[in-house]
């Protein structure tokens, strides 16, 4: 019997499309009403001539948690269920109809006014006008901004738990020792190829409040024209292997940074206690040594090291700017961009670190090309092959390059990175924060025989290689949630923001089918990136005026931000 799939246009369920589930071709079932048969969006079903509809698969019925807003404001009830009043719940998915959910309002507090709540719920039955649901989690009141951040994670399916990963880490660590220093000594003793660089002046440069110190740098003078620039990446893989955690890794494939707090990819025992390059702590790191002569990279070597960071500096702090090794590093990288032009100009410590991270990602990608493996980063602007114009202000030009380094998608096989104007590119410099970096970090050590893994790293590598679509989809969702939450915080903390005009730049232009144009926008004053839809036809990299508005999405009952392009 033919199987069909129904897709509704919105939660009113007045218009829909049905396709043949095997061929994906749209069909017309004369006299058939999916609402009459209680079908949800995405349901797969069969339909017989005697009006018998059999549901084969129903995502809404089978899921254990859907995000939505429980509508308590106004006090409107829809009957009772087991001595509890029924209230309307609006799913975040606009293609799913309103549910009714039993709920007891226990206390209204001093305000004497019920407040809508962000919740998760599941399907119970559909025997009346509205389907009946049951709460599985109450996130909190909608007027508390931190609850909105948490709710967004559920809306974008980013709520993967690392609880089991954390328990396995704690258990395996305790089984080894309660003293991480002893385990570290054991790792170094059993791996004589790990070079002791604890005596070198190695330092980190990050933003204020950073806890995840993935990378560090050092400068060593060889002679008047030659030097060694070293980039260090914390070697998370060694600890995951030592603690036998390859099979325990969770589905959270990146740390998520929201205004209230971070949601880490790794358990804190790994990220903070064992791996983060905190000053004064001994750590194992992978170093990429660049031998530079007169601004040209003459040789590159990868080596595992035991290091101890002297100081965790903040961008542009006085002690950093006045340090001799940093001044030498600044001078050297400025000389390097004449030949190795990863950014246009290096003005300060922000640019130095951005340049060196792009440099390491690029040369690691070249290494993977030689070994025909690794996960690469591909990126391009839509509908243009033109490079970022040199006429842009320096900070905007560098932003476009750095944004391009983070944007795009992960692929297997050498692929050009058009935005950076590089023949290949990868991610490896943030293994505490990104799964792909961790995978590439392990892979480069396997290629060079720098470390012999005891655990099943091959299985881990093959498993995640097969889930690149999931990784790409999830990374896009994370980026969107981080942007939306940062924008909301900015608007709530900046009075009269909607009355201010901001100069920005549009890029990644797409002409839509409805007569509108879609752009990405960058507002330098706010250091903010956002998607913009407009009827105005602009070219990539045009300078435009914007206004930012905060409003309530009445269909989903949650706050939204709109960046509006002015004529």
User: Are 146 and 112 spatial neighbours (Cβ–Cβ below 8 Å)?
Assistant: no
User: Are 344 and 390 spatial neighbours (Cβ–Cβ below 8 Å)?
Assistant: yes
Look up residue 269 and give its DSSP letter. I
Query: 236, 199, 198, 204: which is closest to 217 by C-alpha?
Result: 204
| Same-domain pairing of 313 and 461 | yes
What confidence score (pLDDT) does residue 555 get? 64
> b/e string for 145-157 if b means 16 or more Cβ within 10 A?
eebbbbbbbbbbe
Q: What CA–CA distance (Å, rounded) separates 79 from 100?
A: 9
Task: Indicate which CATH number applies to the domain containing 106.
Answer: 2.40.50.700
Of all residues in the chain, the percent with pLDDT exceeding 70 is: 96
Q: Please state the length of the chain.
A: 567
Average pLDDT over residues 490-499: 83
pLDDT, greater one: 275 or 106 = 275
| Same-domain pairing of 27 and 82 | no
CA distances from 152 to 66, 72, 156, 161, 378 (A): 12, 20, 6, 15, 27
Place of tokens 């330098």: 524
Query: 325, 356, 316: which is closest to 232 by C-alpha?
Result: 356
- Could you tell me if residue 157 is inside a domain? no
| Same-domain pairing of 418 and 512 | no
- Could you tell me if residue 443 is inside a domain? yes
| Same-domain pairing of 136 and 229 | no
Q: Name the domain boundary from 143, 175, 193.
A: 143
Residues in a beta bridge with 539: none
Q: Using CA of residue 261, residue 263, residue 267, residue 273, what is the dihedral sign?
A: negative
Mean pLDDT value across the chain: 91
Rounded to 5 degrees, φ, ψ at 102 are: -70, 130
| Same-domain pairing of 179 and 251 | yes
Q: What CA–CA distance (Å, rounded) separates 520 from 222?
A: 45
Q: Determine which helix (DSSP H) or strand (DSSP E) holds 442, and give its type and residue range.
A: helix 435-448
Residue 211, burial from CB neighbour count under 10 angstroms (0-12, 13-18, 19+): middle
| Same-domain pairing of 26 and 97 | no
> Is the confidence at residue 109, as pLDDT, over 70?
no
| Same-domain pairing of 46 and 85 | no
Going by their DSSP bridges, the two strands 84-91 and 99-103 should be labelled as antiparallel
Contacts of 330-334 spanning 24+ positions with Cβ under 8 A: 332/219, 332/227, 332/229, 332/292, 332/295, 333/229
Q: Spell out the residues 6+ positions from residue 96 whose beta carbon is closer than 8 angstroms to its own.
A: 11, 40, 41, 60, 66
- Could you tell me if residue 168 is inside a domain? yes
Count of C-beta atoms within a 10 Å radius of residue 9: 13
Q: Spell out the residues 6+ positions from residue 525 whose beta carbon is closer than 8 angstroms to its own.
A: 502, 503
> Is the confidence at residue 395, as pLDDT, over 90?
no
User: Are 293 and 226 spatial neighbours (Cβ–Cβ below 8 Å)?
Assistant: yes
- Could you tell me if residue 329 is inside a domain? yes
Could you read off the pLDDT of 6-53 as tens digits, one per residue? 999 999 999 999 999 999 999 998 888 999 999 999 999 999 878 889
What confidence score (pLDDT) does residue 384 get? 55
- Could you tell me if residue 151 is inside a domain? no
Cα end-to-end distance, the chain, whole Å: 56
What confidence score (pLDDT) does residue 433 get? 95
What confidence score (pLDDT) does residue 186 get? 93
Residue 18's domain comprises: 4-61
Of all residues in the chain, the percent with pLDDT exceeding 90 is: 73
Q: What CA–CA distance (Å, rounded) separates 374 from 465?
A: 9
- Could you tell me if residue 182 is inside a domain? yes
Q: What CA–CA distance (Å, rounded) separates 279 from 203?
A: 8
Q: What CA–CA distance (Å, rounded) separates 69 from 142?
A: 8
User: Are 289 and 300 spatial neighbours (Cβ–Cβ below 8 Å)?
Assistant: yes
| Same-domain pairing of 125 and 228 | no
What confidence score (pLDDT) does residue 405 get? 60
Average pLDDT over residues 77-86: 91
pLDDT band at 545 (very low <50, low <70, confident <90, very high): very high
Please state the domain count of the chain.
4
| Same-domain pairing of 325 and 398 | yes
The two structure tokens encoding residue 411 = 């692929």
| Same-domain pairing of 226 and 78 | no
Could you read off the pLDDT of 370-386 as tens digits, one per residue? 999 999 998 765 555 56
Could you read off the pLDDT of 315-365 as tens digits, one per residue? 999 999 999 999 999 999 999 999 988 888 899 999 999 999 999 999 999
> Is the confidence at residue 506, as pLDDT, over 90?
yes
Q: What CA–CA distance (Å, rounded) separates 562 from 145?
A: 17
Q: Name the domain boundary from 45, 61, 77.
A: 61
- Could you tell me if residue 489 is inside a domain? no
What confidence score (pLDDT) does residue 54 get? 94
- Could you tell me if residue 149 is inside a domain? no
| Same-domain pairing of 344 and 215 | yes
Q: What CA–CA distance (Å, rounded) separates 97 from 130?
A: 8
Average the pLDDT over each of 58-67, 313-322, 444-453, 493-502 and give the range with the smallest value.
493-502
Q: What CA–CA distance (Å, rounded) separates 451 from 371?
A: 17
Q: Name the domain boundary from 88, 115, 143.
A: 143
> Is the confidence at residue 401, as pLDDT, over 90?
no
Residues in a beta bridge with 369: none
| Same-domain pairing of 56 and 81 | no
Q: What CA–CA distance (Å, rounded) separates 192 from 187?
A: 9
Q: What CA–CA distance (Å, rounded) separates 23 from 486?
A: 42
């Amino acid at each position: 019997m033919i199987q069909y799939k129904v897709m509704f246009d919105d939660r009113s369920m007045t218009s829909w499309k049905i396709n043949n589930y095997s061929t994906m071709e749209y069909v017309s079932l004369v006299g058939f009403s999916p609402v009459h048969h209680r079908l949800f969006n995405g349901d797969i079903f069969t339909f017989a001539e005697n009006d018998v509809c059999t549901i084969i698969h129903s995502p809404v019925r089978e899921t254990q948690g859907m995000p939505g807003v429980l509508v308590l404001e106004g006090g409107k009830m829809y009957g009772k269920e087991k001595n509890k009043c029924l209230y309307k719940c609006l799913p975040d998915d606009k293609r799913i109809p309103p549910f009714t959910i039993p709920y007891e309002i226990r206390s209204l507090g001093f305000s004497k006014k019920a407040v809508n709540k962000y919740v998760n719920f599941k399907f119970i039955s559909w025997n009346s006008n509205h389907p009946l649901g049951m709460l599985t989690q109450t996130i909190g009141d909608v007027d508390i901004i931190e609850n909105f951040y948490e709710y967004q994670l559920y809306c974008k399916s980013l709520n993967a738990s690392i609880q089991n990963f954390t328990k396995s880490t704690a258990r395996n660590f305790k089984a080894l020792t309660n003293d991480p220093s002893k385990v570290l000594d054991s790792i170094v003793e059993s791996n004589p190829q790990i070079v002791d660089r604890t005596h070198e002046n190695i330092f980190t440069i990050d933003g204020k409040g950073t806890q995840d110190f993935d990378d560090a740098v050092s400068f060593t003078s060889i002679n008047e024209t030659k030097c060694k620039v070293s980039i260090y990446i914390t070697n998370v893989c060694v600890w995951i292997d030592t603690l036998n955690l390859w099979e325990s890794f969770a589905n959270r494939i990146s740390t998520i940074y929201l205004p209230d707090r971070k949601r880490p990819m790794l358990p804190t025992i790994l990220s903070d206690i064992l791996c983060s390059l905190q000053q004064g702590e001994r750590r194992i790191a992978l170093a990429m040594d660049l031998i530079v002569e007169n601004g040209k990279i003459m040789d590159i070597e990868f080596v595992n090291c035991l290091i101890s960071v002297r100081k965790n500096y903040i961008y542009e702090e006085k002690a950093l700017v006045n340090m001799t090794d940093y001044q030498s590093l600044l001078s050297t990288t400025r000389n390097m961009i004449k030949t190795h032009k990863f950014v246009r100009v290096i003005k300060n410590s922000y640019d130095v670190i951005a340049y060196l991270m792009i440099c390491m990602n690029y040369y690691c990608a070249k290494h993977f090309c030689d070994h025909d493996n690794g996960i690469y980063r591909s990126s391009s602007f839509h509908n243009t092959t033109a490079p970022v114009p040199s006429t842009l202000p320096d900070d905007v030009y560098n932003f476009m390059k750095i944004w391009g380094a983070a944007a795009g998608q992960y692929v297997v096989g050498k692929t050009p990175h058009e935005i950076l104007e590089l023949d290949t590119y990868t991610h490896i410099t943030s293994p505490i924060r990104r799964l792909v970096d961790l995978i590439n970090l392990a892979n480069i050590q396997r290629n060079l025989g720098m470390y012999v893994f005891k655990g099943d790293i091959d299985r881990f590598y093959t498993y995640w290689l097969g889930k690149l679509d999931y990784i790409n989809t999830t990374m896009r969702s994370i980026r969107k949630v981080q942007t939306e939450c940062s924008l909301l915080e900015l608007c709530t903390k900046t009075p009269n923001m909607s009355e201010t005009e901001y100069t920005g730049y549009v890029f990644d232009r797409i002409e839509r089918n409805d007569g509108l144009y879609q752009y990405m926008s960058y507002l330098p004053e706010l250091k903010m990136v956002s998607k913009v839809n407009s009827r105005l036809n602009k070219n990539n990299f045009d300078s435009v005026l914007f206004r930012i508005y905060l409003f309530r999405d009445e269909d989903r009952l949650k706050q939204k931000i709109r960046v509006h392009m002015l004529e």
